[in-house]
Amino acid sequence: MITIPKTLLYVEKDKLFSCTVQNYLERRGYAVIVADTVRAGILAVRDNVRINLVIAGIDNRNSSEMLRFSRKIRSENKLPVVFFAGDCEDTVFMEMANATIYGYALKYCSVRGLDPALEMAFKLYDSCGRDESGHGRSDTAETRLLLEKIAELAALAEASCKAKSDFMAMMRHELRTPMNGVIGMADLLMETRLSREQRQYAKILRSSAGSLLDILNDILDFSVMESGTMKLEILDFHLRVVVEDTVDILAVKAHEKGLNLVCKIDPGVFVHLRGDAGRLRQILINLIGNAIKFTPKGSVTVLVSLDEETATRVKVRFTVIDTGIGISADR
């Protein structure tokens, strides 16, 4: 009977993602300590003798630091390390395999991918971890079989996720094109002579098609992020035009609920910018749309202000304020 340790340390710089993983693992019965930097992780291991396993969030940008951290934890603290890998080059996976780890899972598959990785890690640690004197045990035939099983499962999971992501990325054009056609024809239909009842039906058709396209965009964009092929467009755009047009799109929804939708752009903000106006518009639609959805009465205000400025770049802050119920502090 394998006894699974209860306390895990998760080192992850992405606070939103680490919160999701922490909630999932705690529902699985683990106690989870989260550190957002390697230094914080080292201090947590030093100060907390209850930690039984370390999960290291790794990607291309922090691979060197995380690999050094995993070796330190293994050599000095004798703790098993499981890598939770994001966007990593093949060379990083090779370095992970040589870093005396106990397995890895892939972020873009699912948080549930940690379950088999942790189970394998605990089995492996039980097989070749510390003996009663605290020294590492020698390799065994069972250990080698477990390592081979880890590699086999990881390869299958990676191939499955890549196939799914590649398929969804390929479907971007095929799914969006007919939806844009439906929207375009609905717009043309509304410009013809229609009775009041027919115009109402056309408006419902146009609104429903637009909502469905938004859902498709969200699903497809997530699949592109999973496959690692998302790229931002860098084009000239007028900030005021993008923001005000976006607010105009959502003004109808706000009016239907009797809400005041206000847009305020600080005069000090540069309006002639370069970047991905499409992504900015999509983010604003999501934020403002959620604010309208969860605000029963009152107002929704969009504030645009200058956060930072350098010789070649500006950082613009977008704030959405509503009079709704808000989000509880524990979430």
Residue 306: its pLDDT value, please? 93
Contacts of 272 (CB under 8 A, 6+ apart): 236, 238, 239
**Bridge partners of residue 11, in order along the sequence:** 35, 56
What does the pLDDT average to over 220-242? 73
Contact 38, 61 (CB under 8 A): no
Contact 103, 113 (CB under 8 A): no
Amino acid at 166: D
Neighbours of 106 (CB within 10 A): 21
Of residues 171 and 154, which shows the higher confidence score?
171
* Cα–Cα distance, 4 to 1 (Å, whole number): 9
pLDDT surpassing 50 at residue 322: yes
Residue 178: its pLDDT value, please? 81
Model confidence at 303, in pLDDT bands (50, 70, 90)? very high
User: What are the respective helix, strand and coil percentages of the chain, to the nearest 5?
Assistant: 55, 20, 25
Residue 90: its pLDDT value, please? 67
Q: Measured on CA atoms in the order 188, 191, 193, 195, is the torsion positive or negative?
A: positive
Residue 168: its pLDDT value, please? 66
Model confidence at 137, in pLDDT bands (50, 70, 90)? very low
Of residues 162 and 11, which shows the higher confidence score?
11
Residue 315: its pLDDT value, please? 93
Contacts of 130 (CB under 8 A, 6+ apart): 78, 136, 137
Q: What are 9's two structure tokens?
A: 């340390």
pLDDT surpassing 80 at residue 311: yes
Assign 311 to helix, strand or coil.
coil
Q: What are the tens digits of pLDDT across the range 179-230? A: 778 888 888 898 899 998 898 888 888 877 877 777 777 666 665 555 555 5
Task: Provide the phi-psi class of 80: left if phi over 0, else alpha when psi is between -120 and 50, else beta.
Answer: beta
Residue 258: its pLDDT value, please? 92
Closest CA to 247 of 183, 320, 191, 187: 320
First-to-last C-alpha distance (Å) of the chain:
37
* Cα–Cα distance, 317 to 302 (Å, whole number): 10
Contact 160, 168 (CB under 8 A): no
Residue 220 burial by Cβ neighbours in a 10 Å radius (0-12, 13-18, 19+): middle
Residue 161: its pLDDT value, please? 62
Model confidence at 131, in pLDDT bands (50, 70, 90)? very low
Distances (CA, A) of 258 to 148, 208, 295: 62, 21, 10
Give the largest Cα separation in the chain, rounded. Answer: 88
Contact 106, 150 (CB under 8 A): no
Query: What string of H, E and C letters represents the secondary structure of 138-159?
Result: CCCHHHHHHHHHHHHHHHHHHH
Percent of the chain with pLDDT over 70: 70
The lowest-confidence range among 2-11, 69-78, 190-199 is 2-11
Q: What are the tens digits of pLDDT across the range 26-47? A: 888 888 899 989 888 888 888 8
What does the pLDDT average to over 265-274? 92
Q: What are the tens digits of pLDDT across the range 76-119? A: 887 888 888 777 676 776 777 666 556 666 665 567 777 777 87
DSSP secondary structure letter of residue 260: E
Closest CA to 251 of 273, 284, 277: 284
Residue 165: its pLDDT value, please? 64
